Structure 1
Amino acid sequence: MVARFGTPDIAAVDRAAVDRAAVDSEAVDRAARRAGALNVPVRVHVLTDGAEGALSDAEVRRQLAALNDAYGGRFGGVDTMIGFRLTGIDRTRRPDWFRDPKRFEQRFKRALRRGGPGTLNLYTAAVGSDVLGFSTFPEAYRAKPVLDGVVIDYRAVPGGRFRHYDRGFTAVHEIGHWLGLYHTFENGCRPPGDSVDDTPYEASAAEACPMRKDTCPQPGDDPIHNFMDYAWDDCMREFTAGQGQRVRAVWAVYRAGRAGARRGHAARSVGRDR
């Protein structure tokens, strides 16, 4: 059985500064206005063992198209005002890095990563069938910039070999974390949930492709079609306006160049724990 994602739960890392900046509505509005529409440069690093994993330029570009379609609302959700621009592709033949990216994460990221806090470094490798991808969060950049980025399984790109996970939405989901979004089921039915007002509370992750699910007493069915849930790619189709607003706010605090890094540091000192 293929599971979905390996990015750690909120409790595993410091979230105080992010929520200080992004939960408060006035802070969201101010930061989102500063950030405006985002055009994210993307560097793709293809890891291979020489026989497997060497994605072609066409496959990489199809993944970028899936990102732009998902974040642009072309599958049915809102246009989040976030776009992605491919700035480079490189390929590295290292069987050890390719076969065990969690173990060798620091090594290959230290060797390959390029750009600053606003550059998305996307790595493809044989992450595995139990977990298809993992990501860092924006607030972690200042402490460990070399680790910043997203790693996905090469078989989960559009047209890949993993059934039900072959539309490129593993990258869409993990990049959501890189941009500051949490799982829709974060904190279960307890406030603040995923810290986005227009995603209904959800007690547990969606599995496969449910017709309907309502696990919390608060209004609204579970957001089973949201890209930040765990459903199959076949059933994912949307982000919400609130998620787009949160991303732009978090970007202004953590990823908008050096000024953003300084604002993030200031926010960390006054943030509240979750």
Structure 2
Amino acid sequence: MDTADIVGTPARRRCGTEDVHRRLLNESLNYRLNRASIENLAFAFATGEQQPTRTEVVHIPVVVHIVHQNDEQNVSDEQIDTQIAVLNDDFRATNADVKHVPPVWQGLVADARLEFHRATVDPDGNPTTGVTRRRTDVRAFSDDDAVKFTARGGADAWPADRYLNIWVCQLSGGLLGYAQFPGGPPSTDGVVITYTGFGTIGTAKAPFDRGRTTTHEIGHWLNLFHIGGDDGTGCSGTDFVSDTPNQAGQNFGTPAFPSITCNNGPNGDMFMNYMDYTDDVAMFMFTHGQILRVEACLAGPRQGLMTAAGRAPATSAPAGNEA
């Protein structure tokens, strides 16, 4: 692989989630069956056949696996904390830039009532910072899930029914991140973020230095699709959400409102949605319809986290696992 494919900050957003999704659909009958069941539940929520019952804010324990070949890639705890802070703002709709949502869509801005914190207890019941660190000989990882296994140069997942696993590493080929939709193997469940697109300080580099890549990928982890429907530049795809306008493909950079495709005028594409492909500075909302899918996900495949989330975040913790 050419060095340019490995080193440097991508100029445009590239997410590998859909590629992983198609690979698992081709390889695993169990995944196909799980996905059908998960989408049936999401449809029941979307049509009102089943109603959300959750009233409380759910606190999700996170373990961040830092897989680094060199010291630069070994991002600091402080950088990790900036990413957690972004997630808590974005999923609670308290992010300062939410004010930039066009007035026509301000009423669609949704609070997911999800908050994230570094895990305070590891799978064996011991205190933890919620961070593991592993030095690797692997120059760069792809979306083949190698980073999720110690035997392949990465770090093994913590139990996916109790933790959100986030791997931070050098990704290749201009890949910013990828996630596994609910319904896949527990050993590979979680999200992967390139180290230059994680958090807001340290190694984070523009235009992906506001932590929104992780927000986007956790959206997938909670069963949200790309807003463009993943049908190329056609107008026949769908994200299965009724309050996101149909649009032709993904948007890049920092578009100007309105950006009209698929006869969706006068307001056009909701390119400021976290599930589009715009730069970090240009995305700042989830909709009520998207969060309804999240509710279905928490009621179904991610319901184990509702129990794990009962662990209150700690104000301090011992040092993480260093390598």
Decide which structure has greater helix share. 1
Query: What pairs up with 1:90-101 in 2 under 5 angstroms?
Result: 90-96=132-138, 99-101=140-142
Q: Aligned match of 2:149 in 92, 103, 107?
A: 107
- 1:123 partner SS: strand
CA distance in structure 2 between the aligned counterparts of 1:25 and 1:90, rounded to whole angstroms = 37
Show the counterpart of 1:6. Answer: 16
TM-score, normalised with respect to structure 2: 0.71
How many aligned positions are there? 255
Show the counterpart of 1:53. Answer: 73
CA distance in structure 2 between the aligned counterparts of 1:248 and 1:45, rounded to whole angstroms = 27
Checking the alignment, whether the CA contact within 8 Å between 2:156 and 2:187 is kept in structure 1 is: no
Q: Aligned match of 1:81 in 97, 113, 122?
A: 113
- 1:207 partner SS: coil
Q: Which amino acid aligns with 2:157?
A: R
Report the Cα offset of residue 32 of structure 1: 2.5
Checking the alignment, whether the CA contact within 8 Å between 2:65 and 2:168 is kept in structure 1 is: yes
Checking the alignment, whether the CA contact within 8 Å between 2:44 and 2:50 is kept in structure 1 is: no
Distance 1:69 1:237, change over 3 A: same
Query: What pairs up with 1:225-240 in 2 under 5 angstroms?
Result: 225-240=272-287
Is 1:246 matched with 2:293?
Answer: yes
CA distance in structure 2 between the aligned counterparts of 1:214 and 1:152, rounded to whole angstroms = 31
What RMSD over aligned residues (CA atoms) do the two structures have, in Å?
2.6
Show the counterpart of 1:268. Answer: none
Is 1:63 matched with 2:52?
Answer: no
3-12 vs 150-159, which moves further: 3-12
CA distance in structure 2 between the aligned counterparts of 1:125 and 1:73, rounded to whole angstroms = 28
Checking the alignment, whether the CA contact within 8 Å between 2:16 and 2:143 is kept in structure 1 is: no
Larger Rg: 2
Structure 2 residue runs of 5 or longer lacking an equivalent are: 1-9, 26-31, 99-108, 120-129, 308-323
Structure 1 residue runs of 5 or longer lacking an equivalent are: 261-274
CA distance in structure 1 between the aligned counterparts of 2:91 and 2:67, rounded to whole angstroms = 26
Show the counterpart of 2:62. Answer: 42
Show the counterpart of 1:267. Answer: none
CA distance in structure 2 between the aligned counterparts of 1:85 and 1:99, rounded to whole angstroms = 27
Is 1:211 matched with 2:256?
Answer: yes
Show the counterpart of 2:39. Answer: 19
CA distance in structure 2 between the aligned counterparts of 1:177 and 1:118, rounded to whole angstroms = 18
Is 1:189 matched with 2:231?
Answer: no
105-114 vs 128-137, which moves further: 105-114
- 2:149 partner SS: helix
Percent identity over paired residues: 31
Q: Aligned match of 1:137 in 175, 181, 191?
A: 181
Q: Which amino acid aligns with 1:146?
A: S
